[in-house]
Amino acid sequence: MRASDLLLLLVVVAGCSPEKRQSSTLTPGESQLEVPGGTIWYKVSAGGTGTPVVLLHGGPGFSSFYLKPLEALADDRVVIRYDQLGGGKSSSTTDTTLFTIPHFVQELDSLRSHLGIAKWHVLGHSWGTILAFEYYRAYPNHVASLVFGSPVFDIPTYEKRARELLTTLPNSLQRSVARAEATGKFDAPDYQNAINAFYSLYVFRRPVPADLDSTFGTANQTIYNYMQGPSEFTITGTLKGYDVTRLLPQIKVPTLLTVGEFDEVGPELVKGFAARIPGARFEELAGAAHITTWDAPDAMISAVRAFLRSADTVAARAPS
């Protein structure tokens, strides 16, 4: 009998899928992985035997501190939280040749391969939804399901909404933004005050103080400025024209889309994305802004947990 046949026989006898057996052998804890340009930090939280899930944070250039509440899912399955190259606990870099979607897609699959996972659920938030979608396009056979938290699949339309939200700020702050955009002086204190006011309304309303400090203390502004721009509402980076709305119907795996009631992305935009994805679920989280894991952690965890359990059930019933 071949070794591969013996492994399959052992899996069948154990009564669980190869993905579940892989998840049970992953060692909990923190580690580092060498990737082009440096090392990335990752953490494995383990408990249950469901198909693993990997968490993709937003930014670009930020970190996964704000996704820590989702580690509660580890009682069902392995949870992998990591910081993309450049931010958080991963190596810092200013090499703009690495600030591309293909780089981050390959980085993610390097992590999957390193952990020995054949297929995993992929959960992205904000910029992480772009990464999740592009990863699925590149490696569909490695994706069991997709969770898109506050997705930004249409940056031009998102930018239009962000500019509309900007008009809800005091006139003095709106003038500060206009002045900074005219002069290019985005480090001006009054422009930074406008950013903070915008954040407090549409990005996070109930942040976790320690994780908020860590998030901004380890952010890579070079990546953020290069790919996004100087703020959430002044978009000048390489992602400015990104729009894959027409490609969403190509998604063939179970999909969940979530958004906060006061999210900068906007419930209507996300609901429109969901309508384009066959069989997709949509969840609006009351009282939350963009970072739902801070503003509505229990509701976010509950929605994701129920969805992943359902996706595992669908996968178990699928013909081999």
Q: List, by residue number, the catalytic residues.
A: 126, 263, 290
Select from 107, 117, 162, 159 the least CA-distant residue to 138. 107
Q: Which amino acid is at 210?
A: A
What gap in Å lies between CA 224 and CA 242, rounded to an integer?
15
Q: Which amino acid is at 166?
A: L
Q: Which pair of tokens denotes residue 140?
A: 């569909």
Tell how far CA 44 is from the center of its chain: 16
What gap in Å lies between CA 263 and CA 179, rounded to an integer?
26
What gap in Å lies between CA 160 and CA 228, rounded to an integer?
14
What gap in Å lies between CA 86 and CA 101, rounded to an integer?
14
Select from 31, 36, 32, 43 the least CA-distant residue to 93. 36
Question: 């071949």: which residue's tokens?
Answer: 2
116: left (phi over 0), alpha (psi -120 to 50) or beta: left
Inter-CA distances, 13 with 4, 16, 257, 276, Å:
14, 8, 36, 40
- Relative to beta strand 255-260, strand 281-285 is parallel
DSSP 40-75: EEEEEE--S-EEEEEEE--TTT--SGGGGGGGGGGG
What gap in Å lies between CA 312 and CA 49, rounded to an integer?
10
What gap in Å lies between CA 271 and CA 11, rounded to an integer?
40
Q: Which pair of tokens denotes residue 9?
A: 């026989």
Specify the 3-state DSSP secondary structure of 29: strand
